[in-house]
Amino acid sequence: MMKKLKSRLRNFSFLSVLILVFVSCTEQHSWQLSSPDGKLMVTIENVMPENTLLYQVTCRTDTGDIMVISSSPLGIEREDQQFIEGLSFMSASPIESVDERYNLLHGKRKECHDFSNQLILQFSNEQGGLLDVVLRAYNDGVAFRYRFPEEDSVLHTVINEATGFSLAEDGIAFMTPHADAGGRYGPAYEQYYQKEIAVGTPSPNKAGWSFPALFEIHHGRFWVLITEAGLDETYFGARLEQEALNGVYRIRMPDEQEGLGIGDVSPSSTLPWATPWRLIIMGESLKPIVESSMVTHLSPPSVVENTDWIKPGRSTWSWWSSARRPRSFDKLVRFIDFTAEMGWEYSLVDVYWDKLGEGKIRELVSYANEKSVGLILWYNSGG
């Protein structure tokens, strides 16, 4: 009897070790982060044998769970090292609650509440280089960014971002083609949006699709908006590739012709270095998307200390009715008069105001001041 008991104990111990090893392996290759209300879930997987990273986003609704983003690629490549394949899990931070409040001078609301859960996963590549994947889950969406946590004074350059967004192929999209580089004004984010096109439809422009991109998926049951936040001088304003094979939209690198050759279009920085956030805002209607403040939550605070001069207000804009109207002094005066009659704060003077003639813009400013109307002068930032 005693021998049988010892044998069973040994078998049980061996089985326990197997279970512990299995659980340990599972924990090291799959991680989940939920929103504060528990309805949104982002899952990260380190997929064998290439050791690549995939993520997916699900949402629990009253009518059942919805796959918002199915398995999609993560990863980034620098000129000196790649962090797309051969990634080994190093550590996972404790899940932390982000609970911050701040005020805005303008926008959707004055008082904002940044409330989410955060998880940081660290991986190393085959050369020993470190990459952090920083995840945040909000009640109205999820966000992630890459971070190189090591420290050095060497300038590093990103040459590829593998980030993708896989959406249900039965969905429809509302997207604007990104203007091809070149010319005086391109790219200028001025293309018309295409509405209700099938998910995966190629962009008519080689430059791809601009952010933000809006999708209606699962036969109108769910809405998804993809964009970015936290952009700074070390990275590029992102967009999506022209092709979305199998419904997977991927981040596209900038073209060499952008900026008319002024400055380097390749993102570069010393370490540590964090990329902008990739945002996925979602809901069962457009309401949570329109009301979301995730973009400002994930953007750094303003560095402007004195904000007394910033006065938000309503504005007239002559461009709506005549693209070349700013060439006419008399017509601009009429818009200033209309602004004053409406009790609005500003009038926007668009392109060609420099063609008014010597001293005319100063005269226009003086007239606007008499009417207590502020002038906003447009200047092309692309070309």
Token pair 């700013």 is found at 326
Strands 374-377, 346-349: pairing kind: parallel
Query: In angstroms, what CA-CA distances link 252 with 76, 207, 271, 348?
Result: 12, 8, 23, 33
Nearest CA to 298 among 91, 34, 102, 42? 102
CB burial class (10 A; 0-12, 13-18, 19+) of residue 310? exposed
The Cβ of residue 258 has, within 10 Å, a number of other Cβ atoms equal to 20
Compute the distance between CA of residue 275 and CA of residue 278 in angstroms, rounded to an integer.
9
Q: Are 300 and 232 in contact (CB under 8 A)?
A: yes
Residue 187 binned pLDDT confidence (cut-offs 50, 70, 90): confident
Q: DSSP character for 5?
A: H
CA 17 to chain centre: 43
Residue 325 binned pLDDT confidence (cut-offs 50, 70, 90): low
**pLDDT digits over 103-155, tens only?**
999 889 999 999 999 999 999 999 999 999 999 999 999 999 999 999 999 99
100-106's contacts with Cβ under 8 Å and 24+ in sequence apart are 102/301, 104/296, 105/307, 105/310, 105/312, 106/310, 106/312
Compute the distance between CA of residue 76 and CA of residue 106 in angstroms, rounded to an integer.
35
Q: Residue 113 contacts by C-beta under 8 Å, 6 or more apart in sequence?
A: 99, 100, 101
- Residue 345, pLDDT > 90, answer yes
Strands 40-47, 277-283: pairing kind: unpaired
Compute the distance between CA of residue 201 and CA of residue 193 in angstroms, rounded to an integer.
13
Residue 382 binned pLDDT confidence (cut-offs 50, 70, 90): low
Rounded to an integer, the average pLDDT of 42-48 is 97
Compute the distance between CA of residue 59 and CA of residue 285 in angstroms, rounded to an integer.
13
Two tokens at 103? Answer: 């005020």
Two tokens at 205? Answer: 């422009």
- Residue 24, pLDDT > 80, answer no
Give the chain's mean pLDDT.
Answer: 89
DSSP assignments along 235-270, one per residue: S---EE-S--GGGEEEEEPPPTTGGGG-S--S-EEE
Rounded to an integer, the average pLDDT of 314-321 is 87
Provide the residue type at 295 as one letter. Answer: V
Residue 178 binned pLDDT confidence (cut-offs 50, 70, 90): very high
Exposure class string for 58-69: b at 16+ Cβ within 10 A, else e = bbeeeeeebbbb
**Per-residue model confidence (pLDDT) at position 88:** 97
- Residue 26, pLDDT > 60, answer no
- Residue 344, pLDDT > 60, answer yes
Residue 94 binned pLDDT confidence (cut-offs 50, 70, 90): very high
- Residue 22, pLDDT > 50, answer no
**Strand-pair partners of 198:** 172
Helix (H) or strand (E) run with residue 73 in it = strand 64-74
- Residue 25, pLDDT > 60, answer no
Q: Are 137 and 42 in contact (CB under 8 A)?
A: yes
Query: In angstroms, what CA-CA distances link 105 with 10, 110, 138, 347?
Result: 68, 6, 23, 20
Provide the residue type at 366 as one letter. Answer: S
Residue 324 binned pLDDT confidence (cut-offs 50, 70, 90): low
Q: Report the predicted TM-score, pTM, of the whole model to 2 decimal places.
A: 0.87
Rounded to an integer, the average pLDDT of 282-308 is 95
- Residue 3, pLDDT > 70, answer no
Rounded to an integer, the average pLDDT of 322-330 is 75
- Residue 200, pLDDT > 90, answer yes
The Cβ of residue 83 has, within 10 Å, a number of other Cβ atoms equal to 25
The Cβ of residue 325 has, within 10 Å, a number of other Cβ atoms equal to 20
